[in-house]
Amino acid sequence: MRDVPQIIQDVGFDFIWDKRKVWQLDVAVEEMPIEELAWHFDVPFIWSKPDGFFDINPRWVIEQPEKYHLVYTRTLNAQTTYPIDIMFWRGKWLILDGLHRLMKQFIEGKRTVRVRKIPKDAIPKIRKDPAGSVVVTGASRGIGRAISQTFLAAGYSVVGTYKAHKPPFEDQNFIAVRMDQGKPASIAKASQTIAARVSAIDALVNNAGIILDGHDQTVDVDKVRRTLEVDLLGIIGVTNRLLPLLHRGAHIVNMSTNYGANSFPIDDKTSAGYRLTKAALNMYTRILAFDTKEAGIIVSALDPGWVKTEMGWDVADDTYQPDREPEDVANDVMDIVMHVKETGCYWRYGKQREW
């Protein structure tokens, strides 16, 4: 959830609703004193920027109409013949639809407003249909957890895989599926479970991965082999099994790293297996993009930078440390899925980078 003030998270609904479904409910209209709803005027429920940044309090609009003339004009144009739809939530009557109607009638000096008190048991009827379905591997922590929660906040349904510990959050639109990406049988079982729950996938985010040799100064063949099994062959196995569910225009995002770029100089002896595997994953991304181009599927590799995760901190020291939050990477993934139309590209911080 990007740029949403804490006060809105504290008092706001924890579900996304469809106003059209609210309007269709058969609920009686009654009068309510405006003062019972006036607390809305001191919460930044209005935004002025295209990305939905909540930055304006209704009271500012009411008291400073010249400064906020666009919102003020919209408020005066509100159709007050319609009632205000509200629901009792966390000890307050919270508006589902009709904030501008409330503001207009307050400006006009009205003491009461017409409202419809929507009961909580109507939530299943008014819940907004998911914007799409996303599968995120490795969703129990770090980057995968942030990606899952970012897509949920945007109205998507999310399937998140985990190896040992279930993701520490719940949501009406979230399904957790156990999967060990290093075991083909586990991948097959998880893929069958996903296919039974999701009819189509809009985005597959291959995020799950391991690093076993982050401190090793020599190449350990067993660690290289195990890393390849999880970070490359496992990803290929997951993708092959879920590919039939991806439609034209769907996205596949493979989580890569700077270490996987041939253009990035090798500056120490560590992480040989991790580097080899991510370099191979980059080539797989290009191969997959070529193979799926006619099907209209968009395939991308993402270099997330050095992120403040358990994996990121493990290879840090007093001098060099990670500088990005998991939520930053989640926003990068969201931007790729929402805006990228060119397949077979390697991304870092919103820009294409060299392979």
**In the predicted structure, residue 65 carries a pLDDT above the cut 80:** yes
- Evaluate if pTM is beyond 0.75: no
Confidence at residue 49, expressed as pLDDT on a 0 to 100 scale? 55
Architecture of domain 133-352: 3-Layer(aba) Sandwich (3.40)
**In the predicted structure, residue 3 carries a pLDDT above the cut 70:** no
Confidence at residue 152, expressed as pLDDT on a 0 to 100 scale? 93
CATH 3.40.50.720 in the chain, residue ranges: 133-352
Confidence at residue 309, expressed as pLDDT on a 0 to 100 scale? 83
User: β-pairing, 246-255 with 201-206?
Assistant: parallel
CATH 3.90.1530 in the chain, residue ranges: 6-126
How far is CA 14 from each of CA 21, 75, 176, 185, 208, rounded to the nearest angstrom?
Answer: 17, 26, 19, 37, 28
Confidence at residue 83, expressed as pLDDT on a 0 to 100 scale? 97
6-126 has which fold?
3.90.1530
The whole-angstrom separation of Cα 167 and Cα 226 is: 24
Sign of CA dihedral 316, 320, 325, 330: negative
